[in-house]
Amino acid sequence: MKFFQKLGARVDELWRVQGYDEAIFSAVALQALQELPPDQHTCLLDVVCGATQASNLPTQVDMKATFGDPPLTVFEGRSFRIEVLFWLRGVPGIHQHAFSGAFHVLEGSSIHTRWRFVPEERVNLRLILGRAEFTEVEILRRGDNREIIAGPGMLHATYHMDKPSLTVVVRTIVEHDKAPQYSIMPPHVAHVPSLRHDIVVRQSQLLQMMLQTHPEECLRHLRCLMSLKDTYWVFEVLDALWSSIDDEEARQQLLATARHHHPALLQALEPSFDQVVRGDHITRVRGDVGDDSELRFLLALLRNVPDGDEIRRLIALCYPDTEVVDLIERWVRRVVGSGTLGFSFHESWFLALRYLLRGLSAEQIAERFASSESVPGGPRDLAEVEELCRALKTSWLLYPLFVRSRVQVS
Amino acid sequence: MITVQNANVDWRDSLYALNNPAGFKFVFSKQIRRGAPFRLAQGGAAAIDVQTMAAAGNSVAMELIGADYLEPDAPVGVSEKGAEWLLLSASSGNPVAMQQIAERWLSTDASRMAADAQSLLERAASDHYLPAQVALAAYLLEGPLAPNPIRATELLRDSAARGSRLAHVVMATSLITGRGVQADHDAGVGWLRRLGANNARKVGALGTFLYASALASRFPERRRLTRYAAVLFEESINQGNFDVETSLAYLIRRG
């Protein structure tokens, strides 16, 4: 813990000569982290043992540990603090900050994606519909530092690949002119989880309870309410209840009612819900494959990087001696073989996947299947090959391999 | 729940799960009991005052009241009132009501109302209401709408691609029985395989799921689902699963 006193003192020293101007705090924090790299001075055990032995600690925040497993404040300065965030299972979504500073990877590694959000329709301060655009991805490793820019200028996500991962964050407390902190549900929704309206939250909780005890009445009631309530209310309640509604027709009826009364919201929300469901599912599969670091890497990429070229680039970066398509096919075979998906792949799926990754068209794949590479029980004609290719390219697991969504930012 | 863990022998096996993270959960949900006992006439057991809301023109409330009035155990004479409420709701743009009133017309007065029913189903489907799209396809295949197997197949393929399990079942049963399309047993079984029902036991399980859904459904959807369940039970028996003979017999005895 002594190290963080030293780091905090250095940050204060650098910032003081700048008049404690928040606008340049990120540069100050970055400089301090570069001068005193935490990974060269401390480690997980140092931090945990030091914090638990101490008779006193700086004021702790986020006591529900919503951001970090848990977060630990290790230094309090004038209008800034230093935190160590531990990550065991935490999957922070895409978010922006109402503070500035810099972070340092103390242990582990993470996939760091950057995004931007183009607003198209403001519902209210808490909910904006628009377009989330993926702009950049990199792999952060121990010792890496990155600035945190307050406000809409930096929208990012860090998906921690190792268990545990630790980050040191040097940050201002809050910059009110940069609030609120939006979170993004790609591809179309920006909302502020920290500003949820208390009344709406409690009403959602009541409806969740009612869904358990009186499901049919709850769904009737909910459909009536959706025809009466405002768009923000419908968003919050659907967001809270959606994963608990398992009846296909009930879901369709809810969507139809919401779509009829809040068309713009539903146009944005349906694809965003699809992304949430697929993200949760891949996270579950990733948890089930155990300690296989290669599979965990592949699944982390598929979950977080919506661009096939970028996925291939990162794999090539980390595994430079192996052909990327071969590696992807081999890893997908292992994921399927692990039984964690709940279904198997027919051999023709692997072959079609390999050919699609190599850029072959459905016609070319059909020709290969018709000739020497036919597989027992495989697709028999072009229409069947096209259906299989379409299914692979739109698969919840594999579709990022086939899209080019990265937006170049000048 | 059916989970396929064994190696697939046909390329169509489990294809549905590739595009739908939830996979093949043939879970009969108690969240929606479409055959719920008639309630409104019993003093407004509904949790919300739908009568007042319907009177004020709320489309969801009008649909709920209409559907309740059309329940088989509703007091005699109220079914016409139910149809009126549903029609009002449909007229205000509610796709759920559009499907319900259209299916009602097709089951009771098809010769006179088929064109109007088709028009409502088309409109509900164009509003992205998937159950209406599947129902429209089913009536174009099985009657009483004028047969149009090409359009029906297009609608079903689109619905299946958007995640409708029922669309898979309608395709499968039509192809197996030749109802509305040229019979093609292998193609029909292929649609069951896509849903993960790739052996006799799983086909029987899918039939049981459909039958349970039928028992909880509103008339006339109940009749359609029961017919599909019967086809699946027969297919399961033909594939060697005689365990479902009792289910099929029970289904036939209940008519």
- Please tell me the least confidently modeled range out of A104-108, A362-366, A406-410, B72-76: B72-76
pLDDT band per the 50, 70, 90 thresholds, residue A410: low
The answer to whether A394 contacts chain B (CB < 8 Å) is yes
* Percentage of chain A lying above the pLDDT 90 cut: 83
pLDDT surpassing 80 at residue A179: yes
Please give the structure tokens belonging to residue A232: 């923000």
Q: Which two tokens stand for residue A65?
A: 């540990």
Question: pLDDT class for B214, splitting at 50, 70, 90?
Answer: confident
Q: Looking at CA atoms only, how far is residue A136 from chain B in angstroms? A: 27
pLDDT of B25 strictly over 70: no
Ranges assigned E (strand) in A143-213: 145-148, 151-160, 165-172, 183-185, 189-191
Report which DSSP code applies to B75.
Answer: P
pLDDT for res B36? 45
**Tell me, what's the pLDDT at B147?**
95
Average confidence (pLDDT) over A391-398? 97
Comparing CA positions, the residue from B31, B145, B80, B24 lying closest to residue A253 is B31
Which of A214, A221, A343 minimises the CB distance to B4? Answer: A343
How far apart CA B97 and CA B126 sit, in angstroms, is 14
Contact A250 B31 (CB under 8 A): yes
Beta bridge partners of A145: A104
Residue B2's pLDDT is what?
37
Across chain A, what does the average pLDDT equal? 93
Contacts of A375 in chain B (CB under 8 A): 11
pLDDT at B248: 86
Instruction: Give the pLDDT of residue B76.
Output: 61
A396 near B CB under 8 A: yes
Task: Return the bridge partners of A117, or none.
Answer: A132
Residue B34 has pLDDT above 60, yes or no: no
| E strand or H helix at A106 | strand A101-107
pLDDT at A304: 95
pLDDT at position B37 is 41
Q: Residues B209-231: what's their mean pLDDT?
A: 87
Nearest CA among B151, B235, B244 for reference residue B192: B235
Average pLDDT over residues A174-195: 94
| Higher pLDDT among residues A53 and B45, named by residue | A53
Q: What ipTM was assigned to the predicted interfaces of this complex?
A: 0.88
Residue B48: predicted pLDDT: 64
- Kindly report the CA angle at A332 between A105 and A246, in degrees rounded to 5? 90
Distances (CA, A) of B33 to A42, A369, B70: 60, 47, 14
Cβ–Cβ of B129/A256 closer than 8 Å? yes
Q: Which of B26, B32, B59 to substitute to test the interface with A, most A CBs within 10 Å?
A: B32
Nearest neighbour of B61 by CB, restricted to A224, A253, A392: A224
User: What pLDDT is attached to residue B77?
Assistant: 64
**What are φ and ψ of residue A73, in 5° steps?**
-85, 125
Mean pLDDT of the region B102-127: 92
pLDDT at B8 over 80: no
Pseudo-torsion of CA A254, A260, A261, A266, nearest 10°?
Answer: 70
CA dist B56 and A33 (Å) reads 64
Sheet holding A80-87, edge to edge: A71-76, A80-87, A165-172, A101-107, A145-148
> Nearest by CB to B21, which of A255, A278, A394?
A278
Q: Are A256 and B92 in contact (CB under 8 A)?
A: no
Q: If you average pLDDT over every residue of chain B, what do you get?
A: 85
Mutate one of A346, A368, A385, A387 to test the B interface: name it (highest B CB count within 10 A).
A346
Longest dimension (CA), chain B: 58
**Can you tell me which residue has the tokens 């009930």?**
A250
Task: Please determine, for residue B44, whether its predicted confidence score (pLDDT) is greater than 80.
Answer: no
pLDDT digits (tens, 9 = 90+) for B139-176: 999 999 999 999 999 999 999 999 999 999 999 999 99
Q: What is the mean pLDDT of residues B214-223?
A: 80
- Contact between A249 and B32 using a beta-carbon 8 Å cutoff: yes
Among A145-149, A162-166, B246-250, the range of highest mean pLDDT: A145-149
Question: A342 at the B interface (CB within 8 A)?
Answer: yes
Element containing residue A213 per DSSP (H, E): helix A198-213
Please indicate if any CB of chain B lies within 8 Å of the CB of A377.
Answer: yes
Using the predicted structure, report yes or no on whether residue B221 has a pLDDT greater than 90. no
Query: What sign for the dihedral angle of Cα A108, A114, A120, A124?
Result: positive
Query: Is the pLDDT reported for residue B43 higher than 60?
Result: no
pLDDT band at B26 (very low <50, low <70, confident <90, very high): low
Confidence of residue B75 (pLDDT cuts 50, 70, 90): low
Give the SS3 label for residue A25: helix
Q: Is the pLDDT of residue B29 over 60?
A: no
Read off the pLDDT of residues A215-250 as tens digits, 9 standing for 90 and up.
888 898 899 999 999 999 999 999 999 988 888 888
Which A residues 198-217 touch B at CB under 8 Å?
211, 214-217
- For residue A118, the surrounding DSSP H or E stretch is strand A109-124
Structure tokens at A66: 């919503």
Residue A223: predicted pLDDT:
94
Under the banding of pLDDT at 50, 70 and 90, the label for residue B68 is confident
Q: Which residues of A touch B167 (CB under 8 A)?
A: none
